[in-house]
Each structure stands twice: as C-alpha cells, then as structure tokens.
Chain A
C-alpha cells in the first residue's frame, strides 16, 4: 500500500479553545485511550452531534458500563454515570423513568452491551425504553487485554481465541432490529460526518435507538489480526464497506475480508414504555 505524506499538523494556537470543549471535562484530559483507537473519533462525532442538536447540556445524561468505551462517560461535562460491567442499560432505564425530561444516552462497548449486558439490551429494546444506545464495536474486549467477545468475527485471533475464533458472532444491527429497536444504524469511525448524522438521528428519535460504531482497536484486535495501525483499519473499512440505507439487517453480517453493510436499517415510530405506562395510569384514574 503506498504511503501517503502525512498532512502537516494544524498550528497550535495557545489559549484558543476548541468549540467542542464545552462538552468535555477538560481537566480530565488527556484521555486513557491508545493512539489510533477509534474511541476518540466516536467521541468527537458524538460531541458534534450534541452540538448540532443544541440541547441544554443539563438535559443530557450519559451512562456507560465498563471497558475502554465505557470510559466515554467520564470525559463528558454532563451528568455522567460509569456503572458496572453490562448494567448501563438498566441503570439508564431507572434514570429515564425517574426523570423523563432527560435525554438518556448509553455509550459502551460490544462486550459490555452484548455479552454480560445482552439480556438488558434486548429487554430495553423490547419495551421501547426511550434511550439511545451507542455501541463502539471493536470486535474484542479492549480494556482487559483483547479477549474474544460476542462480535469477534470467525477466524479472528484474540488472547482467548489464540487459534482463531470459531464461535458464531452476533450481527448487532440484526439483533437490535429483531428485539424491537425503533432506529438502527451502523457506521464506522472512518466516516465522521455520516456517523454524526446517524447519532443526531438516533438521539432525537423517540424510543429505543441504536447506533453501532465499528472502530479500530489497534492495540489489541488490530495487532493480533495483522490489521496494522488504526489508520490501516480505516482503509480496510473504506475498501470493504457498502453504504446502503434500508437494507435488511439480516444481510449485515461482518466477516473478515468480505464486504459489509453500513447505513440506516430501521427508522420507525412506536409508543415508548413511558407513554404506554402513563396511558395505562390515566386509564385507571391514576395521577400518571
């Protein structure tokens, strides 16, 4: 692959603040993520999305589980909750029901949301709980040193699949759609603008919404699978992703070396848990 000349770094201008800083706990920076990790891009796309939505920051709460992706909550200058491994969604459920005016967003990883937390994901989707779930899928457990996860593709090497993974992985967008999510999209960190758009849509959509962000974990997943640096993994995305809106999520499997689908898979409306609860309460003459 031809090596392109690196673009000159933008000039450092002291005392000029980045416009997105208002969303960040800048006193917590630098972050813990490795260079080349997709989490930085995912986070900045999220910040751009928040900026675009123009919500009052005091109406936004972010809940994370545990993992590298789970550290997102801690960098946001918002009400943020870094909970236990896998339990961000039920925590967010309680938060949302207690304070319905809040925009409650779950930001976490593939292992957190779909291995240990998988049961919570499908039930929150089934109930159409009014929360947005953002999953950074890096195909492994980054935080704990690169173990096999529920999205690890067949054949991939991880520290606990040293001879290549033989388990069938989840197709997350298919899972989300089947469980009842009302908005489902998949993007990669290659495509910041498309990702921002999907996040804006997911965050502003009523009901249970889901965005899967495919992201490099060069330190653990990339290295063991000879995918090169983070940038090389983005090149891989560019060469293999097929943008298609409205595709059947069933077709969205991800297999090494094969084309994969990105885009918006589901965008529907249905009553949320809280709407149905309140309707029922009114029906029985409660204060609802």
Chain B
C-alpha cells in the first residue's frame, strides 16, 4: 500500500511527531537537521516518512549545514524545514540572518530545553525566546509561534509554512520539551491548503527580483526557472546587486522590517481563557500557559477572578493586545520557564498601567499550579 501523504484521522502522537506531520501536510518535502534532544523525534519521523512520499530527508553534519541546506532547498523551489534545540539553534543564527536578508521562506523549529550551554538536554525550558527575536546580528523582524499542545503543534506548523510564504521570511516554531514529548489526541484534517509561493508575473527581462509588491514582499524566482537571479546576503538593490550605500541599506532593512510590522492582523494569534470578568490576567505561552490554567483555577476557588492570556504569536509581540489587556485588568502575572524574557515585552506593552509580576523558573521542570496561584495572589494583594 503506498504511504499516505496526509494522515487524515485521529491520532495519539507527541508534539514532535505532530510537527513532522504538520510539515508534510503543509507541503514540506525537504527536511535537513542534525540530531539533538528533545528534537530527535521530529527528525526520526521525517527520516521515516519523507522517503516514502517523494520528499527529501538529509541528516547534515551540523546545524549550520542543516539550515544552509534548507535555504538552498527553498531556492530550489521546495518548502523546507529544519528542527533543533538550544545548542543547534545558536549555531543556526548566522544563516537565520541570511534567510531574513535574502527573504527565503522556511520553517525552523526550536524544541527548547534547559540552558545556557548543554544545560539540561532532556528537560524543559523556554529560555530561547529572546534569541528567537534577536539572535542573529543586525536589526530584523521575524515571526515566532508557540504551540501549547500536540494538536496546536500540528496546526501551527501548517500556519508557519503559510506565513513563511506570505511574508518571505523564516518562521520560528518555538516549542518546548514538554509539548514536544507530550502525547495527546491529534486530529489531522482530510486536506490542508498548501500555501503558494509568490511567483514572478513578468518575463525574465522585466523581472527585478527584489522589487517588492505593494505589500512590500517581492515575488520569488527560484533556481532553474529562467530568471537568473543573484541572491546575496550583502545589502542589495532591487536587482539583487550589492549596493554598499547607507541609503540602500536603510531602505532595505526598513522594508524587511515593515513588510512584517505593517500587517499584524495576519500573524497575531492569542487565546483568552476566563478573561471576561478577570481582575488578574496571567500572560503565558507554550507549556507554561497550560500549567497556568491550574493556577487560575486555584485562584478562582480562592475568590480571585483570574484568567489567561495565552500568547500564540510571540514575535512580533502583540503590543496592542497586551496594552488593551492592561486596560481591562488590575494586575498581570507572566509565567515562563526562564528568568524573565517575554515578561519584559509585557511590561513594555503595559506601559505602567498595572503591576506586572513574573513567576519564573529557569527550567528543568514545569511550574506547579500552586506557584502560579501564589503569583496571582501576590499581584492581587499589590493592586488592591
């Protein structure tokens, strides 16, 4: 029996496997990676699946090579993905910048684990959130999504491929060890729309490869299509030719940032739980958001009206939604598995309207509902 491309139906799988299946469903046929815990299940699943469905899997010699191969495959016209964890994510940073600069659509998964350095290879953390935003050198804008369940890992992987094509940008799937290894029900729909690549609409003689459409994203001509494009990480003009002037640089960097910043409604996703009457909002993401629900339940039992604002999009940060949230509640608690990363963004967006309190842990385990509850109580006391 030929292998099925989309595994339509209900499955019991972990977050890593769901990411692999989400990629396949989204049309990804190229995966390059280097093994690392807790990402290996993604690579192993794709090593098994891709050769059966006409896709390419290659285990590269390191993560630098893995992301470089993904960029090459994307210019070869394929939807391409790599996956890693902290140490490998660090190695990918230079070519992440190349992907931004050359507007190469691709998806990069980081299954976060305890860090810095080798840290806690098998245990959860969320310490790479700022690296996702600013890890490569220079000023840029990027999209990062945070799933909180295997089902969402599947759904957001599909979404990540669509956003990568829409904005011609690398999209980061910032998950964590617990979501990666957690087994749950995952429902795969009969069909998943495959996001098209924006193609040139003029013949090669008239085509300027980095001349943007009105939404600031240029159409993309891939290798072998007759457009003979020069693609460089150097600052370049609309022809793709190096231009070493401050004017060209400012123009290019601004466009790369604005093409994303100007369209927040297309990538800003969040979930609100029990916020309608809430006095205290817990802002969290990934596995920490799920744990926070337990803390919110304890708070409600103790008579504190608390609710959850779950960030699904971490980057670009939903400034406006958080600012509005601050206008509705009396205090905010940020729960995350680092010592304060997204909390800084929350504080910035809140602009001093209400107290913001962090419930932090460096990782190795998830929070307990009691810890979240204590955080809620603390803010509740402060804002009365």
Binds B, one of A92-100, A152-160, A219-227, A244-252: A92-100
Question: A82-B230, A83-B98, A84-B94 are contacts. A120–B224 as well, Cβ < 8 Å?
Answer: no
Closest to A99 in B: B76
From A84, A92, A101, A119, give the contact of B95 (CB < 8 A).
A84
* Interface SS majority for chain B: mixed
B140 at the interface (CB under 8 A from A): no
From A90, A97, A286, give the contact of B52 (CB < 8 A).
A286
Question: A102-B76, A287-B54 are contacts. A28–B225 as well, Cβ < 8 Å?
Answer: no
The answer to whether A98 and B72 touch across the interface, beta carbons within 8 angstroms, is: yes
| Residue numbers in A under 8 Å from B73 (CB-CB) | 94-95, 97-98
Question: Which residues of B72-131 have CB atoms within 8 Å of chain A's CB atoms?
Answer: 72-78, 80, 94-95, 98
Binds A, one of B57-65, B321-329, B337-345: B57-65
**A interface size (C-beta, 8 A):** 45
| Residue numbers in B under 8 Å from A86 (CB-CB) | 64
A-B pair number, CB within 8 angstroms: 155
Binds B, one of A39-47, A70-78, A184-192, A261-269: A70-78
Q: How far is the CA of A27 from the CA of B77 in the complex (A)?
A: 27
| Residue numbers in B under 8 Å from A78 (CB-CB) | 228
The answer to whether A123 and B232 touch across the interface, beta carbons within 8 angstroms, is: no
Interface string of A108-137 (1 = CB under 8 A from B): 000000000001100100000000000000
The answer to whether A120 and B61 touch across the interface, beta carbons within 8 angstroms, is: yes
B306 at the interface (CB under 8 A from A): no
The answer to whether A82 and B30 touch across the interface, beta carbons within 8 angstroms, is: no
Q: How far is the CA of A288 from the CA of B223 in the complex (A)?
A: 21
Question: A78-B228, A97-B30 are contacts. A285–B2 as well, Cβ < 8 Å?
Answer: yes
Binds B, one of A13-21, A57-65, A229-237: A57-65
A277 at the interface (CB under 8 A from B): yes
Known: A58-B225, A95-B76. 14 other contacts (CB 8 A): A25-B230, A73-B232, A74-B230, A78-B228, A81-B232, A83-B71, A90-B32, A94-B68, A94-B76, A95-B73, A98-B72, A120-B61, A120-B65, A285-B3
Q: Which residues of A contact B (CB under 8 A)?
A: 25, 27-28, 57-59, 61, 63, 73-74, 77-84, 86-87, 89-99, 101-102, 119-120, 123, 273, 277, 280-281, 284-288
